[in-house]
Structure 1
Amino acid sequence: MNLFTDIRALVLQAIEALQAEGALPEGLATAAVTVEPPRDPLHGDMATNAAMVLAKPAKAKPRDIAEALAAKIAADDRVDHAEVAGPGFLNLRLAPSVWQALPQGVLAAGTDFGRSQMGQGAKVNVEYVSANPTGPLHVGHTRGAVFGDALASLLDFAGYDVTREYYINDGGAQVDVLARSVYLRYLEAQGHEVEFADGTYPGDYLIPVGEKLKEQVGDRYVGQPEEVWLEEVRNFATDEMMALIREDLKMLGVEMDQFFSEKSLYGTGRIEAAIESLDAKGLIYRGVLEPPKGKKPEDWEPREQTLFKSTEHGDDVDRPIMKSDGAWTYFAPDIAYHYDKVSRGYDQLIDVFGADHGGYVKRMKAAVSALSDGKTPLDIKLIQLVKLYKNGEPFKMSKRAGTFVTLRDVVEEVGPDVTRFVMLTRKNDASLDFDFAKAVEQSKENPVFYVQYAHARICSVMRKATEAGVDVSDAALAGADVSVLSHEAELGLMKKLAEWPRLVEIAAKGHEPHKVAIWLNELASDLHALWNKGHDEPALRFLQDDAALSQSKIALARAVAVVISAGLGILGVTPVEEMR
C-alpha cells in the first residue's frame, strides 16, 4: 500500500488518456515523472512534475499540459482538488477518505506495511566491520557495524536478497604482531617479566588469551625461537580475537551471514586467478609510475612494477599489484576478494569502510568494474569519526584495549538500542558527536527517547483501554470506523504514515538508513503533538467514553505503533512498551 505509487499510476493513466485523445503525442518517456510531497504543505498533499517533464518532448507549454492533466486527475474519487502552480507544477489534494483508509491498511499488513518489492530479489553483498583481528572492536567500528547492519535490514525490507559479510584481515603482517603480543602475555602467564616494544599490542584484553594459551600448551613455547611457535600462536590468537569480535557484535545485535578469511587467498592460487582474469583483458602490464603529485618524497625512485590499468575504469592513476621484489601489494588480495564476490553472482556489492580508506574508493570501484565487465556495481560507504562526550565535555572511558575506547565500553554505558539509534542519527559520511548524557536523558531533544516514548505512550493507552473494557485487539481495531477521524491533526498523522512506504524505497535506493531514524523522529513528533492537543481538546484524546469511538482513535495510534516497530526493526532497535 503505497499512496504515492498509486497516485503516480493515476497521473500516468491521465497521460495515456490525453495521448489517446491526441492531446499529447505517443511515445513520451515517463520514467522521470514523480509524485511526491510538495515543499510547502499548504500547496496540497502531493505534487507531480509530469507537465514539466513532458513539455519539451511534447513540444507544448508545461502549463497547458498541467491544466489538461488536472482535469483528468480531478475526476478521480481519490482527488479533491488538482491545481496548476507556477510554470506547470501540478498540486493535488486528496479526499479525507484516502487518508482515513491508512490505519486499517497498516493494521492489515502489520509490520510488513511499507515492505517493498523494489529490489526484485536482486542479490546484494554488504561487507561491513571487517576489522583487523588484532583486538576488540572500537567505537569507530561500532558506527560501521550499526550502519552496515541497518543498511542490510533496509535493503531486505525493500525486496533485496542480502548477504551480510565480514572480511577477516588475517593475511598481513599485523597478525604476526598479534602473535608476538600474545606470546608476551603467554610468558607473563608463566611468571616471566615482559616488556612490550613499540609496535606490539599492550592492551589488557590479551591477558586472558595468554593465559588460555598457557593452559593449552603448558611451557612448550617458553624460551623457544619464533620460528617454533609463530604460526601456531598466530592461528590461535586470530581465532581468539575473532571469538571476541563475534561476542562484541552480538552485544550490539549484529550477526553475520558469512566470514571470509583473507588468509584463504594466499597459497591457493586465488590471487593469481584474479590477476590472470585482468591480464586476459589487457589490464595488467609492467611499467613505471609517475612520482606523486606535489612535493616528491625523498625516498621516491622510479622502479618497474606490475600494474593494473585502473585508469581505464575510472581511477586517477594505475595501481601496483606486485612489488619489484615479486611480493603482492595490499591491493592484490583485495582484488582477489572482490573477484570472489563477483564470481558468487551478486548483482550489487556494498563495502562499508572507515573514513581513512577514502583513497581506496576509486581503485576498488575500478577493480570491480574490470572484473565484472561493468556489470556489477560497487558502492563504497565511508564512515566518519565518532567523538565521545559526556555533558558536552570530551569523555574518556576505561580504554581496556590499551589505546582506544571499545564497542563493549559504549554498549555497557548506554545499551545496544541507544547505541544503534544514536549512531544512525547522522549520515554515514558526516562526523558524529556521541554525548552519553544526552543519549540517555528523557527529553524530546533525545531522538531515541522521543521515538521510544511515542511507542510506549501508545502501549499505555491500549492497556488503559483494555482495563476500561474496550477491545483493542488488532482484529477489533481493523474493523473500527476511522471515518470519524477528521481533525486536521488526525489527518496529518495519517498523511505521515502514508509517507513510510515511499521513505523505505528512497532510503534503500540511496543506501541511507539514517533517513529511517530521522523519519521515525518526525512520526513520533506528530504523535506527541496529537496527544498534547488532547489536553486542551478532549475530543482528540485516544480514550473516549464511547467504546466504539475509542476503538477508532486507538486504531490510528496502533497503526503508528506498528510503523514505529517496523522502522525500529530496520534499525535493529527494540520498541519498548513502557518507559522506566
Structure 2
Amino acid sequence: MNPYRHFIGEIVAALQSMQAAGELPEKLDFSAITAEPPRDAAHGDIATNAAMVLSKAAGKKPRDIAEPLLARLKANPDVVDGAVAGPGFLNLKIADGFWRARLGDCLKAGIAYGDSSMGKGGKVNVEYVSANPTGPLHVAHARGAIVGDALSNLLHKAGYDVTKEYYINDAGAQVDKLGQSTYLRYREALGETIESIPEGLYPGEYLKDVGAAIAKRDGARWVAKPESDWLPEMRAFAIATLMAEIKADLETLGVHIDVYSSERALVESGAVDRAFEELTRQGLIYQGRLEPPKGQLPDDWEDREQTLFRATQFGDEVDRPLKKSDGSWTYFANDIAYHHDKYRRGFADMIDVWGADHGGYVNRMKAAVSAITAKQGELDVKLCQLVRVMRNGELVRMSKRAGTFVTLRDLLDEVGPDVVRFTMLTRKNDAPFDFDLVKATEQSRDNPVWYVQYGHARTRSVMRQATAAGIAIDGLDSAPLDRLSDAGELALIRMIAQWPRQVEAAAVAHEPHRIAFYLYDLAAAFHSHWNRGREEPGLRFVIEGDSDLTRARLALVQGIGFVIGSGLKVFGVTPVDEMR
C-alpha cells in the first residue's frame, strides 16, 4: 500500500460526504489533490492541498473547506489529530498503529514491497545506450545505460510492461567511415605500413584486432578490390565485432537488453517511405525554403528548396528537412521512421535516453512523434550529461586503446559493476558528473554506495547475531509490532512506509536518482538508531528477557533490510550481507 495514495482516497471520500451534505457543489475535479509528507515533520504525517485546489471551483475560501474537511477526517480511526495551516493547507497526524501495519505489509512482501499496480500493465519502450557501433562503449555511454536500465526496472516495479531497446545506428556515413578505418587496419595486419589515420576516420587501436581478424580469415583477398567491393564486407564485419563487444560490456554491467533494432534493416524494410507517406497523408510535408540560421552560417548551409516536415505545428522552432540535396533521407527522417515503428509495435509511451550532445534534437523529435502518431504517442527524452573520470580530483588519462576516451571496460575493471551503477545514479541525469575512482570505493559516509550497502550488511549482521543467541528469526511478520514505541523506531517505520510512494513518484517523474537519495536517508536513519543503541542499552535490538520486544525490533531491522534490498534491485545492484 502507498499510504499517501490511500489517504487521497480517504480525503476524496470525506469531500464527497461534504457534497452529499450540500457543503460543496457537485462536479468538482479532485484529480489535483495530493497527500504527501509535510516539509517539517513536526507539522504531522500527511499534508494535503485539497482545500487550496478546490477553493476557486467551489466558490469558497480554502479555510472554509479545510475546517469541515478536517472534522470529517478526524472521525477516521487512523487520524488522531490535525490542523489547518496558513491559507488552507491541512496537516494530519496519523495513528502509530497505522504505520506499524505498513511495517507488517513490508515483512509479508519482502523485497517485493513497493511493487505497484499504478502502471496497470501499460506498455512502455525505453531506448537507451544506442551508441554508434564504431568503437567500445565509454563512460558517458555507461551513464546512459545505467539511467535507462534503472528507469526500466523502476517502471516495471511500478506496474508497467517495459521493453528495453537498443537502436543500432548501422546506416549512414559514420559506419562507412568505420569500414574504411577497418580496411586500413586490415592492410596494416597484412604488413603494409600505415603512416597515419586520415582525418575523419577512427584512430583507436581497437580496430587493429578487427583488421587482423579479417586478414586471418580472408588473407589478401580484398587488397586489390575496389572500395565498392570491400566496404560492405569491412563495415559488416566491424559492426558485428564491435556490437559483440558492446553486448559483452553491457552484460558485465548488468544491462540486459530485450530488443536490438537495426537502422539499416529499418531503412531497407521501407519503414522510412511508410512514415513519409503517413506524414504526407496528414498534409505535413511540403516543398519550401528555410530561413538561414541566426549568427554565423554553418559550412554545409544551402539556400535551396527542400522537402520539409511541418514541425512547427507540433511545437518545434522551425520546420525540418527530410531529404538531403542528393535525394537520400536525412538522419531525422530515419529517426521518425524508427519511432513510427515503435508506435506500430504497440508503444504509445516512449522514453529515449540520449547523450548531452543531442539536446538540440529533443524538440524536433517530440514534434515528430506527436505528428507520426496523430498525437496518440508521447516521447520523453532523458539527457545524460558528460562524465569525467577522476582519481583523487585529478582527471584520469584517456585509454590508449580507445584513442580518445576512457572505456566502460576500464571503469568496470577498476571498481566493478555495482559501484559503477549506484554511483552513476547519485546525481540527476542532466547534471554533469565527476566519477572519482577513489571516492567511489572509500568506506565512509561520504560514499553513498558504501553507506547504503553497509546499512544492508548491518541488518544481516543483526540477524546473524540473533540466530547465534538462539532467537528465532522466522515468522517476524507476526511479531508484536505494538511493542515498537520509541520515537526513533517509529520514525524508521514511517520511512519504510514511504517506500511505495517513492517508487510511484520516481516512476511518474522518470527519475531513478530519487531512489538513491531515499536509500541514503534510510541508511543514515538506521545507522543513527544503531548508534543510539550503543549508548542506551534499552534501545538495542536484542533485549535479554523480553522476547516479544526483541522479535518486534528484529522485525523492524528485517523491514529495513527488505527495503534497501528492494531499492538496490531497482538499481541492478547486488545487496551485500557482510562488509569486507
TM normalised by structure 2 equals: 0.97
Q: Render the CA deviation track for 1:366-420: whole Å, top value 9, x for unaligned.
A: 1111100101011111111112211122222534211110011111111101101
Shift of 1:187: 2.2
Partner in structure 2 of residue 141 of structure 1: 141
Does 1:50 pair with 2:75?
Answer: no
- Separation of aligned partners in 1, 2:129 and 2:18: 53
- Separation of aligned partners in 1, 2:553 and 2:211: 62
Change in Cα spacing, 1:150 to 1:291, as seen in structure 2 (3 Å) is: same
Q: Render the CA deviation track for 1:223-280: whole Å, top value 9, x for unaligned.
A: 4332231111211111001001001111110011001111113343221111111011
- Separation of aligned partners in 2, 1:433 and 1:134: 25
Partner in structure 2 of residue 150 of structure 1: 150
Change in Cα spacing, 1:394 to 1:255, as seen in structure 2 (3 Å) is: same
Does 1:292 pair with 2:293?
Answer: yes
Tell me if structure 1 keeps the 8 A contact 2:398–2:404. no
Shift of 1:173: 1.3
Partner in structure 1 of residue 488 of structure 2: 489
Q: Render the CA deviation track for 1:340-375: whole Å, top value 9, x for unaligned.
A: 111111120111111111111111111111100101
- Separation of aligned partners in 1, 2:328 and 2:38: 58
Change in Cα spacing, 1:8 to 1:299, as seen in structure 2 (3 Å) is: closer
- Separation of aligned partners in 2, 1:380 and 1:7: 32
Shift of 1:207: 2.3
Letter matched to residue 21 of structure 2? E
Partner in structure 1 of residue 476 of structure 2: 477
Q: Which moved more, 1:179-188 or 1:533-542?
A: 179-188
Shift of 1:301: 4.2
Q: Render the CA deviation track for 1:67-126: whole Å, top value 9, x for unaligned.
A: 111111111111110111112111111111112222221011112211111111111111
Q: What is the total number of aligned residue pairs between the two structures?
A: 578
Partner in structure 2 of residue 514 of structure 1: 513
- Separation of aligned partners in 1, 2:378 and 2:363: 12
Partner in structure 1 of residue 576 of structure 2: 576
Tell me if structure 1 keeps the 8 A contact 2:103–2:497. no
Letter matched to residue 570 of structure 1? V
- Separation of aligned partners in 2, 1:399 and 1:572: 30
Unaligned segments of structure 2, at least 5 residues: none
Residue 261 of structure 2 aligns to a residue whose secondary structure is: strand
- What are the within-5 Å matches in structure 2 for residues 410-425 of structure 1? 410-425=411-426
- What are the within-5 Å matches in structure 2 for residues 262-301 of structure 1? 262-297=263-298, 300-301=301-302
Residue 322 of structure 1 aligns to a residue whose secondary structure is: coil
Shift of 1:296: 4.1
Partner in structure 2 of residue 2 of structure 1: 2
Letter matched to residue 84 of structure 2? V
- Separation of aligned partners in 2, 1:551 and 1:157: 29
Unaligned segments of structure 1, at least 5 residues: none
- What are the within-5 Å matches in structure 2 for residues 74-473 of structure 1? 74-195=74-195, 196-297=197-298, 300-473=301-474
Q: Which moved more, 1:219-228 or 1:2-11?
A: 219-228
Letter matched to residue 48 of structure 1? T
- Separation of aligned partners in 1, 2:10 and 2:400: 59
- Separation of aligned partners in 2, 1:323 and 1:398: 36
Residue 137 of structure 2 aligns to a residue whose secondary structure is: coil
Q: Which moved more, 1:502-511 or 1:93-102?
A: 93-102
Partner in structure 2 of residue 539 of structure 1: 538
- Separation of aligned partners in 2, 1:399 and 1:129: 23
Change in Cα spacing, 1:303 to 1:84, as seen in structure 2 (3 Å) is: same
Residue 91 of structure 2 aligns to a residue whose secondary structure is: strand
Residue 282 of structure 2 aligns to a residue whose secondary structure is: coil
Partner in structure 1 of residue 498 of structure 2: 499
Change in Cα spacing, 1:511 to 1:318, as seen in structure 2 (3 Å) is: same
TM normalised by structure 1 equals: 0.97
Residue 521 of structure 2 aligns to a residue whose secondary structure is: helix
- Percent of aligned pairs with the same amino acid: 57
Residue 361 of structure 1 aligns to a residue whose secondary structure is: helix
- Separation of aligned partners in 2, 1:209 and 1:324: 34
Q: Render the CA deviation track for 1:506-563: whole Å, top value 9, x for unaligned.
A: 1111100000111111111111111111111112111221333221111001001101
Letter matched to residue 386 of structure 1? V
- Separation of aligned partners in 1, 2:300 and 2:529: 68
Residue 162 of structure 1 aligns to a residue whose secondary structure is: strand
Residue 440 of structure 1 aligns to a residue whose secondary structure is: coil
- Separation of aligned partners in 2, 1:374 and 1:390: 48
Residue 383 of structure 2 aligns to a residue whose secondary structure is: strand
Tell me if structure 1 keeps the 8 A contact 2:205–2:400. no
- Separation of aligned partners in 1, 2:51 and 2:297: 56
- Separation of aligned partners in 2, 1:309 and 1:2: 44
- Separation of aligned partners in 2, 1:240 and 1:179: 12
Q: Render the CA deviation track for 1:124-164: whole Å, top value 9, x for unaligned.
A: 11111000001100111000000000011111111111111
- Separation of aligned partners in 2, 1:278 and 1:61: 50
The CA RMSD measured in Å over matched residues stands at 1.4
Tell me if structure 1 keeps the 8 A contact 2:78–2:98. yes
Tell me if structure 2 keeps the 8 A contact 1:79–1:94. yes
- Separation of aligned partners in 2, 1:433 and 1:192: 42
Shift of 1:297: 4.9
Change in Cα spacing, 1:245 to 1:32, as seen in structure 2 (3 Å) is: same
Tell me if structure 2 keeps the 8 A contact 1:304–1:324. no
Letter matched to residue 167 of structure 1? Y
Residue 6 of structure 2 aligns to a residue whose secondary structure is: helix
Change in Cα spacing, 1:569 to 1:298, as seen in structure 2 (3 Å) is: closer
Change in Cα spacing, 1:502 to 1:411, as seen in structure 2 (3 Å) is: same
Q: Render the CA deviation track for 1:39-81: whole Å, top value 9, x for unaligned.
A: 1111011111111122222222211221111111111111110
Tell me if structure 2 keeps the 8 A contact 1:466–1:472. yes
- Separation of aligned partners in 1, 2:470 and 2:284: 75
Shift of 1:17: 1.5
- Separation of aligned partners in 1, 2:55 and 2:181: 70
Shift of 1:211: 2.2
Tell me if structure 2 keeps the 8 A contact 1:399–1:406. no
